[in-house]
Structure formats: C-alpha cells, structure tokens
C-alpha cells in the first residue's frame, strides 16, 4: 500500500503555467524529452516534482526576481514539466 505524504507535505496537481524553474538550476538545457514524454503519457508521473511556493522562495531569496505568473518554483524535476507539456497534459503532480 502506498504511504500518504508525511506531515507538512502534500501532493498537488500544479498547472504548468504556474511553475517556474529555480533560477539557479544547474541544468543549462533540458535535452530531448521525447522518451520521457512517451513514458509520462503511458504511465503518468512516477516521481513527483519538488516545489516550493513563490511566497516561501521570495522570503528566502528576496534578491531573486521571479516571473509574475509563477506560483511555484521547481527545486527538483525540471525535465518533467517539459515532458508533461510534450505529452499534452495540462498539470503535473508535485
């Protein structure tokens, strides 16, 4: 049986337009996400994104300006939103 999220953690379906990559992401390019998109279309997202709210990110990093539409900042899983978009899915679990 699948374990529920731990206290203080929750799973959300986040619209792709509400996500922005972490400004200090070490990955310069996402590369080809075709095979990942095919896997997502067939199996869904098997590993969640790790995100933080814009409010929490801005409180910790007031020196960094984020896109005005951003509600969530991706901490881990930067390729999954691109693959989700390629698979024509409007949201990704995080």
pLDDT in tens, 22-42: 888 767 777 788 888 888 888
* For range 69-81, the mean pLDDT: 85
Q: How far is CA 62 from the centre of its chain?
A: 21
* For range 64-82, the mean pLDDT: 84
With a cut of 60, say whether residue 4 has pLDDT above it. Answer: no
What is the Cα–Cα distance from 88 to 61, expressed in whole angstroms?
Answer: 32
- What's the pTM value of the predicted model, to 2 decimals? 0.75
State the pLDDT at residue 62.
92
Distance separating the N- and C-terminal Cα atoms of the chain: 20
């Amino acid at each position: 049986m699948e374990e529920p999220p731990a206290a203080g953690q929750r799973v959300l379906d986040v619209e792709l337009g509400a996500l922005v990559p972490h400004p200090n992401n070490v990955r310069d390019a996402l590369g080809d996400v075709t095979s990942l998109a095919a896997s997502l279309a067939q199996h869904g997202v098997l590993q969640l994104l790790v995100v933080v709210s814009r409010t929490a990110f801005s409180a910790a990093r007031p020196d960094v300006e984020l896109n005005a539409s951003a509600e969530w900042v991706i901490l881990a899983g930067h390729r999954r939103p691109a693959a989700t978009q390629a698979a024509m899915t409007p949201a990704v679990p995080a």
